[in-house]
Structure 1
Amino acid sequence: MSAQREMKEKNPWYTPVTIIITVIGVIAIVALVTVAVLQNKPLPQKYKYGIVLDAGSSHTALYIYEWPAEKDNNTGRVEQLHSCKVKGPGISSYASDPLKAGESLRACMQDAEQWVPGKRHHETPLYLGATAGMRLLNMENSSASDKVFQAVEDALKKSPFSYQGARLLSGSEEGAFGWVTVNYLDDRLKQGLETTGALDLGGASTQISFVSGNYDGSESPSNSVTFRLYGNDYNLYTHSFLCYGKDQALRLTLAQQSKVGPATVEDPCFHPGFTETRNYSVLYDSPCVSDRKPQGGPATFTHTGTGNFLKCQEVVKSIFNFTHCKYSQCSFNGVFQPLLQGPYGAFSAYYFVMNFLNLTDTSIPLETVRKRLANYCATPWEEVKQQHPDVKLKYLAEYCFSGTYILTLLTEGYNFTSESYSNIKFIKKIKGSDAGWTLGYMLNLTNMIPAEAPDSPPLPHAGYVSIVTLMAILLFILFIFSLRPLWPRCSKQPQIV
């Protein structure tokens, strides 16, 4: 026992003070590690939300966007969380029964309540923007347009969201916001890269927007929009052609072919074997063609297809006016357009039509695209129906016309050549968000894009930690050396026996 006691006395690890210090040290280390782990544990991300309703000519769609709550106006990306297509036609179709315009939105609004967290409902902004369909209705019957807007507002005010208003977008706004969306989602604005032009095709209008190096806005100020985004200035050319969306363009071509009031129209833009009885009054009930209605003709006409791409292209070209231009250069209908520049994103109906025709790959030579479209148009109607049994006949019948119209609009209208056509990319989504004007519209109204680039710290986080660590080590060494005068005194103390 005495030997064991002597061994404990000689071994410092057996002294009570040493044991206590060791235990405390272990506890301190464990506590330090635990605190460090908890401190660096990722916190659950909090988000804010915004809702935009796109009230187009053929349908209405609801889009829900989200972004990091702590990066409201800084570097947090706004992304599309969810979309909902409203059942039924566009709100302009409810001119005779405005209340149904508001009722049609109910299902998608209820859907939005499920996607946006309840505690965020009251602070989530809700916007509705109406485009060419309502622009046409406003031209034709402003009183009916006002009643539709009132019905829509009444319905949206009943939602739990922060309703911010419904308004009619101008064509230039629609084009400009589409350009902002495409370039924002592609990170071109933040990084100051060459921008992408925006080509938007709807049912009642079409927009072209791009930045051109030789365009300062002076030649045609009405086509100029200036943005300052992330510290960069953008002088944007934009124009919207009302009545040149694919649905109204079809009316224009049919009106061109039926202007003398024939009983039968043989249409090269529809498949051979296609036949349908059309009502003259229905065809000409749009402001785009109402002044062209033939007088004294029959009530109906038989619309038949012949499926000839070249002749269809001639018919389509007849709805464009290339005869006059008071500017240095024009697209069509006397509208100024600078030289095309850079890449372009073509979305909305551009994508859906060309995707159906399997022609979205613009690396395919333009002449090959024309040949494929010519072969498709020449396919008998019965064969086309058998090949696509799940597609609604109304849409299926119009793809030959729509594809021909798109090629003609791009090459003859906007002056894309065989070389520049390859700069077009047909897009549906960019990084999970639909291409279109709605995101740009919300970003503008909520000031989500800063005019200047956000400030950043002078040193990156890793560099900052490295410098702090080196300074701490240096200070510790200096502290040890500051105790140097005490070292000899400690070593010369007498031993107690």
Structure 2
Amino acid sequence: MAAQREMKGKNPWHRPVTILIAVLGVIAIVALVTVTVMQNQPLHQKYKYGIVLDAGSSHTAMYIYQWPAEKDNDTGRVQQTHACKVNGPGISSYWSSPSQAGDSLRKCLQDAERQVPLSRHQETPLYLGATAGMRLLSKENRSASSEVFRAVERELQRFPFSFQGARILTGQEEGAFGWVTVNYLDDRLRQGLGTRGALDLGGASTQISFVSNQEVESSENAVAFRLYGNDYHLYTHSFLCYGKDQVLKLALVQLTESGERQVSDPCFHPGYNVTKEYSAVYNSPCVTARKSKETSFTHIGTGNALKCQEVVRRVLDFGRCNFSSCSFNQVYQPPLRGTFRAFSAFYFVMNFLNLTSDPLERVKEKLEHYCATPWTQVKQDHPDIKEKYLAEYCFSGTYIVTLLTEGYNFTSESWNDIKFIKKISGSDAGWTLGYMLNLTNMVPAEAPDTPPLPYAGFVTIVTCMALLLVFLLVLSLRSYWPRCRPAQTRII
């Protein structure tokens, strides 16, 4: 008993001060780990919003974007949360009754009021960008263009958002912002990866944009960006009057120049027979005034994709080139480089024709077969599509293939570098996101600073260090650990 009392007296773990220090040390370490984990836990996400209206030649669409509100300088990842297609044609079609242009936007803007939280309304920027349709109207009738914009601005200002103005984008801007959108959504910019080229096709214009590895010979086709610390030298060009709707008018002009009352057209299905007004063909600034005395003509389809391609070739000017290389219409274009994303009408037409994933030779074969399909069969196969739009797919598909191969110089091999898309990561491909990112400076010129460690790695290191401290604390008291002594044999 005396020996046990002696050992107990020498054991420091039975001293109140030692026990108190050890307990406080463990509590402090547990508290350190707990506070670190709680401090770095993700909070309930709050968002900011932006709204962009794309006023195209054939229709207007509204897109709502959101990004994390707590990010410094609004550099959080931007995502599309909602889209609304405006009923009716593009705003340029309302040149004779401008007030209707503003009225047409009301339903989608009311939709935006419901989609964006009430507390964010007044701080949400609202933009409207008009493209080729309004560029043509401004070129033809500047006064009418101004009246349309005034009506649109009055309507936009009635809503509680932070209206930032409405304006016409240049063709160069439309192409460049489309390129930014594609590469931002593909996360090619922040990661410093090789970029994608962008191919856009609308009703009145078409754009091609890509990073070139050689100096751009034409200054009007050169755009420079510095994004996330990387420099990009971009080639971009917009062909006004070469969207799918306007180029169809140009093709019909060639077929109707003689002023005949019946016009055979290989770009429309066999059996297609519709009477059309000459004024509907010659009512665009892309088309020169006609001289025929006839007021209408009978449009007769013959359904031959190869002959249709010849019609398209005559619309595209492949004459002399004053540069080292050209696309068409004497426009400079450097050699193609990298992979491409084709969107807007490129996607919608090729998707309808089921040609988005086939090699070029197979695309041509399927297109020939489709164009040769009788009009009655086509209507029977697609009863839900308006005949006006359904009738134009043969021409549009042939135009796209000719434009990409003979206009932009894609070959059978590089055709596989094109991916036809509608969305990327849930957001529509197009110029609108790139436009908003540019106006809000949400893509920094320099790469933003980031923590040296990710959250999970930081917590792991802190936890390991805490456990190491506990181990060292226990080890430092090793000399005070109780020791078992061998029992002594008492000799009697």
**TM-score normalised per structure 1:** 0.87
Please point out which of 461, 466, 469 is paired with 2:461.
466
Q: Does 1:448 align with 2:462?
A: no
Aligned to 1:254: 252
Structure 1 pair 371–465 and aligned structure 2 pair: CA distance change class (3 A): closer
Q: Does 1:426 align with 2:438?
A: no
Cα deviation for residue 368 of structure 1 reads 1.4
The one-letter code of the counterpart of 1:190 is R
Per-residue Cα deviation, 1:396-452 (whole angstroms, up to 9, x for no partner): 000000000000100111111111111100000001000000000000000110111
Please point out which of 275, 282, 285 is paired with 2:283.
285
Structure 1 pair 480–155 and aligned structure 2 pair: CA distance change class (3 A): same
Cα deviation for residue 472 of structure 1 reads 7.8
| Cα distance in 1 between the residues matched to 2:101 and 2:67 | 30
Identity %: 67
Q: Superposed, which structure 2 residues align to 1:1-400 within 5 Å?
A: 42-71=42-71, 73=73, 76-214=76-214, 216-217=215-216, 219-289=217-287, 291-296=288-293, 298-361=294-357, 364-400=358-394
Note if contact 2:263-2:298 (Cα within 8 Å) is conserved in structure 1.
yes
Note if contact 1:259-1:292 (Cα within 8 Å) is conserved in structure 2.
no
Cα deviation for residue 470 of structure 1 reads 2.6
- Counterpart of 2:70 in 1: which secondary structure? helix
| Cα distance in 1 between the residues matched to 2:419 and 2:478 | 72
Note if contact 2:270-2:303 (Cα within 8 Å) is conserved in structure 1.
yes
Q: Does 1:417 align with 2:444?
A: no
Note if contact 1:201-1:350 (Cα within 8 Å) is conserved in structure 2.
yes
Per-residue Cα deviation, 1:113-147 (whole angstroms, up to 9, x for no partner): 11100000000000000000000000110000000
| Cα distance in 1 between the residues matched to 2:334 and 2:186 | 24
Report how many aligned residue pairs link the two structures.
463
| Cα distance in 2 between the residues matched to 1:325 and 1:404 | 24
Cα deviation for residue 456 of structure 1 reads 2.1
Structure 1 pair 37–194 and aligned structure 2 pair: CA distance change class (3 A): closer
| Cα distance in 2 between the residues matched to 1:480 and 1:356 | 74
| Cα distance in 1 between the residues matched to 2:333 and 2:34 | 65
Note if contact 1:48-1:66 (Cα within 8 Å) is conserved in structure 2.
yes
Per-residue Cα deviation, 1:149-198 (whole angstroms, up to 9, x for no partner): 00000000011000000000000000000000000000001111111000
| Cα distance in 1 between the residues matched to 2:204 and 2:343 | 15
Q: Which stretch of the first structure deviates more once superposed, 52-61 or 31-40?
A: 31-40
Please point out which of 428, 432, 439 is paired with 2:433.
439
| Cα distance in 2 between the residues matched to 1:181 and 1:72 | 21
| Cα distance in 1 between the residues matched to 2:374 and 2:451 | 66
The one-letter code of the counterpart of 1:83 is A
Q: Which stretch of the first structure deviates more once superposed, 163-172 or 367-376?
A: 367-376
Per-residue Cα deviation, 1:359-387 (whole angstroms, up to 9, x for no partner): 000xx231111111001000000010000
Note if contact 2:37-2:459 (Cα within 8 Å) is conserved in structure 1.
no
- Counterpart of 1:271 in 2: which secondary structure? coil
Cα deviation for residue 460 of structure 1 reads 4.2
Note if contact 2:68-2:74 (Cα within 8 Å) is conserved in structure 1.
no
| Cα distance in 1 between the residues matched to 2:68 and 2:330 | 46
Runs of 4+ in 1 over 3 A off after TM superposition: 31-42, 72-75, 458-461, 471-484
Cα deviation for residue 73 of structure 1 reads 3.9
Cα deviation for residue 323 of structure 1 reads 1.1
The one-letter code of the counterpart of 1:433 is S
Note if contact 2:51-2:63 (Cα within 8 Å) is conserved in structure 1.
yes
Q: Unaligned 5+ residue runs, structure 2?
A: 1-15, 482-492
- Counterpart of 1:318 in 2: which secondary structure? helix
Cα deviation for residue 457 of structure 1 reads 2.7
| Cα distance in 1 between the residues matched to 2:35 and 2:448 | 32
Per-residue Cα deviation, 1:241-286 (whole angstroms, up to 9, x for no partner): 0000000000000001111211111000000010111111221010
The one-letter code of the counterpart of 1:158 is R
Cα deviation for residue 478 of structure 1 reads 6.5
Note if contact 1:72-1:448 (Cα within 8 Å) is conserved in structure 2.
no
- Counterpart of 1:278 in 2: which secondary structure? strand
The one-letter code of the counterpart of 1:389 is P
Aligned to 1:12: none
Compare relative contact order (CA 8 Å, sep 6+) and give the higher one, 1 or 2: 2
Note if contact 1:73-1:449 (Cα within 8 Å) is conserved in structure 2.
no
Note if contact 1:74-1:450 (Cα within 8 Å) is conserved in structure 2.
no
- Counterpart of 1:256 in 2: which secondary structure? helix
Cα deviation for residue 314 of structure 1 reads 0.2
Q: Unaligned 5+ residue runs, structure 1?
A: 1-16, 489-497
The one-letter code of the counterpart of 2:239 is F
| Cα distance in 1 between the residues matched to 2:464 and 2:34 | 20
Note if contact 1:73-1:450 (Cα within 8 Å) is conserved in structure 2.
no
| Cα distance in 1 between the residues matched to 2:121 and 2:401 | 44
- Counterpart of 2:315 in 1: which secondary structure? coil
Note if contact 1:57-1:90 (Cα within 8 Å) is conserved in structure 2.
yes
| Cα distance in 2 between the residues matched to 1:72 and 1:443 | 15
Note if contact 2:75-2:442 (Cα within 8 Å) is conserved in structure 1.
no
Aligned to 1:6: none
- Counterpart of 1:63 in 2: which secondary structure? strand
| Cα distance in 1 between the residues matched to 2:75 and 2:478 | 49
The one-letter code of the counterpart of 1:258 is T
Structure 1 pair 273–480 and aligned structure 2 pair: CA distance change class (3 A): closer
| Cα distance in 1 between the residues matched to 2:155 and 2:74 | 34
